[in-house]
Structure 1
Amino acid sequence: MNIGITLLVEILSFGLFIYFFKRVLWGPLMKVMNDRQARIGDGLEAAQQAQQELEAANAEAQRILRESREESASILDQARARTNTMIEEAREEARAEGDRMIERARGEIEQELNRAREELRAQVASLAVVGAERILESSIDEQKHNEMLDKLAAEL
């Protein structure tokens, strides 16, 4: 074979290949390339939008966190104030209960004192009777009688 014919056949074959490639394969290949380029562009745009949404979400999370801290501080302050109020109420109640107990104890002491006075009066009366019996048994001397009554009064 001749090199010229071989070269001519190869050029013709290459031309047919290019024509066939351009007619049949070039359109779908370009469509695939353009679709891929569009998908990559959409992905980049979506990534940028997601980044913006992430920044907005972070800012919102920071705002919510700040509000939560402020609210928890407020709740703690209210709890402390309520605790102090409850402590003061308990102190006042304890003081009032203590005062009531003191008054009851004073009442009981007064009752015991009255009972003791009554017993003492009863004993004085019996001593007076005993003293009168002694006076009557001994002699009726007014001076002795007065001395004995003063003595009895001093004992009481």
Structure 2
Amino acid sequence: MHLDATLIAQIIVFLLLAWFTKKFVWPPITKALDERATKIADGLAAADRAKTELASANRKVEEELARSHQESAGRLADAERRAQAVIEEARKKAEEVAANIVAQAKSEADQQAVKAREQLRDQVAALAVKGAEAILHREINPQVHADLLNRLKAEL
């Protein structure tokens, strides 16, 4: 009987231990496991949200980069257009200055040609007077014949 009493006592102790574990030990363990599962689920959800936000941020960064590339390309094109305009304006100013210089040079050349003609007329008139003196062997009075010299100059 000793064996039966030990077996019954062990069954009673086992049932008491099972009841005590179910009543007092198991609820905190399941609660801790549930809290841990909730924390893990929250962490995974946060990781998914972070991945989504990272992908969104990456898209925004790429869009911003594309926009900045377009803006820089536009600014570069504007700068090139401005440079071409400045070059064209400088070319026009240089052409105007060159035209003015050429016009002044032509004017000076014309004035010098007129002076040279007048000097040549004076020299021809003087030579004509000397030639007439040599032919007539006498002196010609320049005051008397001033009108003759002026007409001669005008004809030449």
- The 1-side partners of 2:91 and 2:103 are apart by 18
Write out per-residue CA displacement over residues 78-107 of structure 1, whole angstroms, 9 at most, x where no aligned residue: 333333333332222222111111101001
- Are 1:51 and 2:73 matched, yes or no? no
Structure 1 vs Structure 2 CA RMSD: 3.5
TM-score if structure 1 supplies the norm length? 0.64
Q: Which amino acid aligns with 1:107?
A: S
Gaps of 5+ in 2: 139-155
- Alignment-derived partner of residue 40 in structure 1: 40
Q: CA deviation at 1:52?
A: 0.7
**Structure 2 residue aligned with 1:135:** 135
In structure 1, distance between residues paired with 2:110 and 2:3: 147
Query: What is the percentage of aligned positions where both structures have the same residue?
Result: 41
Q: Report the secondary structure of 1:88's partner residue.
A: helix
Can you list the C-alpha shifts for 1:49-79, whole angstroms capped at 9, x where unaligned? Answer: 0111111112222222332233233333333
Paired position in structure 2 for 1:68: 68
Residues in 2 aligned to 1:106 and 1:3: alpha-carbon distance in whole angstroms: 145
- After TM superposition, give the deviation of residue 132 of structure 1 in Å: 2.6
Name the structure 2 match of 1:96: 96
Following superposition, the deviation at residue 127 of structure 1 comes to 1.6
Distance 1:72 1:37 in 2: 51
Distance in 2, Cα, partners of 1:75 & 1:104 = 43
Structure 2 distance, partners of 1:54, 1:14, is 55
Q: Secondary structure at the match of 1:66?
A: helix
Aligned residues: 140
Aligned equivalents of 1:99, 1:80: Cα separation in 2? 28
Q: Which runs of 4+ in 1 moved over 3 A?
A: 2-35
